[in-house]
Amino acid sequence: MAKILIVEGEDLVREKLTFGLEERGHEVTGAHDGQEAIDILGSHQFNLVVTAVLMERVDGIQLLSWLETRTDRPPVIAISSGHPDIPAHMSLLLAKTYTPETLEKPINEEAFFALVEKLINDEKEKLAQSEAPRSSDLAL
């Protein structure tokens, strides 16, 4: 089980992703925009953040920029359907400045859930490697 933060201004999308992740045994918290996410991240740790790029108040790019300043930054998936003035591929290109993991809406659920599991497993492996004793640390 992982703790996942979903940052999405569209209630239906946020609820659908939340439901699918909870069905897979994850603990999910939702935020309506980047400002709410920053407030939540100030007092809670997450194994993964999934954020829309285009939102009201504080958008996903601002959230990603804020996350870059944190030493405890979790992996992030950026999602976007674009906007009449900004095509999805352009907003995701901007998001790639901060995270390599991006998906265009409508989200392919199979690809989304596979990416979530991959990122969570990658984080677990990194944590295990960082906690494993190094041969130079072993007393002879």
Residue of higher predicted confidence among 96 and 18: 18
Rounded to an integer, the average pLDDT of 62-74 is: 92
Q: How far is CA 33 from CA 62, 91, 119, 125, in A?
A: 10, 16, 22, 30
Please check the confidence at residue 72 and state whether its pLDDT lies above 90. no
Rounded to an integer, the average pLDDT of 94-120 is: 91
Torsion from C-alpha of 105, 109, 110, 111, nearest 10 degrees: 30
Rounded to an integer, the average pLDDT of 100-123 is: 93
pLDDT value at position 81? 79
pLDDT value at position 99? 85
112 burial via Cβ count (<10 Å: 0-12, 13-18, 19+): middle
pLDDT value at position 136? 59
